[in-house]
Amino acid sequence: MSRIFSGIQPSGSLHIGNYLGAVKNWAELQHKYESFFCIVDYHAITVPYEPADLRARTADMALGLLAAGLDPSKCTLFVQSMVPEHTELAWIFNTLTPLGELERQTQFKEKASREESVPAGILNYPVLQAADILLYRAELVPVGEDQLQHLELSREIARKWNARFDPPPSHEGVGAENAGHRRSFFPEPKGLLTPARRIMGLDGQAKMSKSLGNTVELLEDPKSIWEKLRPAVTNPKRVRRTDPGTPEVCNIYHLHKAFSPPTTVEHVATQCRTAGWGCIDCKKVLHESMEKELAPIRARAAEIAANPAKMRKDLANGAEHARSIASGTMSEVKKKMGLT
Ligand code: ATP
Ligand code: MG
């Protein structure tokens, strides 16, 4: 069975962008693949934070992921800082990663532009991410579109490490019988995207992000979701109620595609194009569709929250299993690199 790995930062509340772009997919993929899902707290400390908040957000993230459908009996769910091999392998990969590659990462440029003083951790973030994935020698990484550039760098790091420390023996060169069949030590991980690969924030200005405050939280109550949906940006060219709209350019229509059944999506598009509905009518229907999907998730979250000891145990078991794989990878890596 192929292995998959993916991570999420406890940098704020789990939102519908994370859910539609990644986490909902994780819940499906856990039945098909040997799956590792990680709450990446070492990534989250690359921006300013309060220790007590981080602790609470890590627990909230675990709760949200379990409520969204991750099943600890089907997948390995754990917190990154409980598995020290992540930072150990990251250091090794730092020695192979060109500075220029890190400096041209879009996320680095964006995050660095928001900080007065830029910590090296923001620059090296994708190196730790490569270590997260390759520690489990995962082949597939279910993520949103914003992570594809980092994933390309992970592939490059895997290629570099393999070429330097795990080259094919000379008898396997061109013409050898088994040429092309030998598996590299680190596979080159590929991304797995959902149709909702990039959900925009309700301001329509940027990708929905925990750190930008433009989110709808997965566990948010319906009244508060409506208060955000009602003023949300639609198609700015549709000025009057009687103006026909263009669904394809409207963020609300894209959310319909993620939450509403296909017949409703079709109906919404027609009502928009013919000015049959105003934007508020359209948002009300979206709110109903969202409620159908999100109410059961909130109910599950309430059940899980009632038993925090079980959640702590699940995370401890997850970390223990992750560590058993991670330590195996590290001892082979160290051996091949001449480290003791
Ligand atoms: P931060 O603002 O702290 O970076 P984030 O909201 O971008 O938080 P991450 O923890 O960085 O969330 O990413 C977790 C997963 O969610 C990744 O797979 C990422 O690609 C995906 N993701 C994040 N935002 C979106 C979005 N707006 N649409 C689709 N997928 C997303
Ligand atoms: Mg992010």
Is 310 catalytic? The answer is no
Report the DSSP pairing between strands 190-192 and 76-79: unpaired
What is the best residue among 5, 9, 11, 18 to mutate for testing ligand 1's pocket, by most ligand atoms within 8 Å of CB?
A: 18
Q: Looking at residue 171, what is its pLDDT?
A: 67
Closest CA to 16 of 214, 274, 263, 271: 214
Q: Which residue has the tokens 């208060």?
A: 227
Structure tokens at 96: 């192979």
Residue 39 φ then ψ, to 5°? -90, 110
DSSP 248: G
Q: Is the CB of 69 under 6 A from ligand 1?
A: no
Q: What is the largest CA-CA distance in the chain?
A: 74
Helix (H) or strand (E) holding 37: strand 34-39
Q: In angstroms, how far is the first alpha carbon of the chain from the final one?
A: 32
Higher pLDDT, 71 or 114: 71
Local confidence band at 168 (pLDDT 50, 70, 90 cut-offs): confident
Q: Is the CB of 10 under 6 A from ligand 1?
A: no
Q: Say yes or no to pLDDT of 322 above 70.
A: yes
Q: Say yes or no to pLDDT of 256 above 70.
A: yes
What value does the mean pLDDT take over residues 76-100?
98
Local confidence band at 170 (pLDDT 50, 70, 90 cut-offs): confident
**Ligand showing the shortest atom-to-Cα distance for residue 215:** 1
Ligand 1 atom 19 nearest Cα: 144
Looking at the DSSP bridge assignments, the partners of residue 190 are 140
Q: What is the pLDDT of residues 92-142, one digit of tens each?
A: 999 999 999 999 999 999 999 988 899 999 999 999 999 999 999 999 999
Q: Say yes or no to pLDDT of 284 above 60.
A: yes
CA distance 34 to 184: 19
Q: What is the pLDDT of residues 10-53, one digit of tens each?
A: 999 999 999 999 999 999 999 999 999 999 999 999 999 999 99
**Helical residues (DSSP H) of the chain, grouped into ranges:** 16-18, 24-29, 41-44, 51-67, 85-94, 99-103, 106-113, 120-134, 148-165, 222-229, 251-259, 262-273, 279-305, 308-337
What is the best residue among 14, 146, 212, 255 to mutate for testing ligand 1's pocket, by most ligand atoms within 8 Å of CB?
A: 146
Helix (H) or strand (E) holding 190: strand 190-192
Instruction: Please give the radius of gyration of the chain, using alpha carbons only, rounded to the nearest integer.
Output: 22
Q: Could you give the 3-state DSSP secondary structure of residue 207?
A: strand
Q: What is the pLDDT of residues 203-233, one digit of tens each?
A: 989 999 998 889 999 999 999 999 999 999 9
> Pick the catalytic residue: 74, 160, 190, 207?
207
Q: Say yes or no to pLDDT of 174 above 70.
A: no
- CA triplet 150, 121, 105: central angle to 5 degrees? 30
